[in-house]
Chains A and B, each alone.
Chain A
Amino acid sequence: MLRECNRVLKPGGCIAGYVIHTPTGLTEAQARRAADLGPSEVTASTSPEVLTQAAGLTVVVKEDVTDVFRATCAALVVAHRDLEDELRADEGEDFYEEERSKKNAMLQGIDEGILCRSLVVANK
C-alpha cells in the first residue's frame, strides 16, 4: 500500500497516518500472539518507519501514541459493556460478540506490550 501511495503522491507531497504495529524485537511466539490479539495483518517484524522508507518515502515524524490508543480502546470497551443490551438488540448477538472480543483482545495486546500505535508522517 505504501508503494502505491508513493506512486500517486505528487513530488513534495505528504502522507500522514496512524499505524497499529508491534514493537521491534518480539519473539516468534510474541509476534504470533500479537497477530492473534490485534489486526490480522499487524506488522510482526518491521517497524512502520522502516516500511515507509522502504516504499521510497522520507519519514519526518514518528511518534508513539500508544497511551492515547489504550485510553480510546479502553473507553470503547467500557462503553460496549455499559450499552450491552442496546447493542445486542440493534447489532445482533454475533456482531456484538465479535466486536466485544476484538476490542478486548486489542486492549489485552496493548497491556501485554505487544501492540502499539504510532503517528507516521512522511514526504515524497
Chain B
Amino acid sequence: MWTGIRIHPKGWDVMEDKNKFFELKYAAALARAARRVEEAALGETVGLNGYTTTAEAQTLCEHLGLKARTALLDVGAGHGWPGSHVAEMTGCRLVSTDIPWEALLVAQLRRETAVVQARGGSLPFRGDSFDAIVHADVLC
C-alpha cells in the first residue's frame, strides 16, 4: 500500500515563505495555460517542473539501469518528473520527496508513488534503503 507522509523537519518555519512560493508555483502549473506553455515550448506535456526534457529523463533512466521492483527515490520531485518517467520505463518502485505537499499530490495522481514531504538535506529514511536516486535541478 502506497502512502503519503508529511514530516516537518527542523527549520521548517524558515522555509515557510519559500514553501508558499512553491505551493503557488505548483498550483499554477496545474492551470491549462501552464500546460500549453510546455506544449508550445517542448512539443509535449510531461508535467515539467524544471528544465529536464523527456530525452534527458531517458538518459537518467539508462544510467540508473534499474529493474522492476527495485527502489527508486526521487529527491525534489515536484510533480514527479523525472522520477515518474524512470518508474514507467523500468517498473521500479518509486518514492517521491519534496517540500510542497500539493506538488507531491500531483505526483501521486500521475503515477503510483509513495510521497514523503521532506527536505533533501534531512531524508526520513533508514540507511541503505534505495537502489537508486534521481534528482533534477535540486542541487543548485
A61 at the interface (CB under 8 A from B): yes
The interface of chain A, by Cβ under 8 A from chain B, is: 1-2, 4-5, 7-11, 13-21, 38-39, 41-43, 48, 51, 61, 65, 68-69, 72-73, 75-76, 78-80, 82-83, 86-87, 89-92, 95, 99, 117, 119, 121
CA distance in complex: A18, B34 (Å): 23
- The answer to whether A8 touches B135 (Cβ under 8 A) is no
B1 to chain A, nearest CB (A): 21
Residue in B closest to A92 when the chains form the complex, CB atoms: B28
Contact A5 B132 (CB under 8 A): no
Q: Are A8's CB and B123's CB within 8 A?
A: yes
Q: How far is the CA of A32 from the CA of B56 in the complex (A)?
A: 29
Min Cβ gap B8→A in Å is: 17
With A9-B128, A11-B128 as contacts: A79 and B136 at CB distance below 8 Å: no
Residue of A2, A14, A95 near B132 (CB, 8 A) is A14
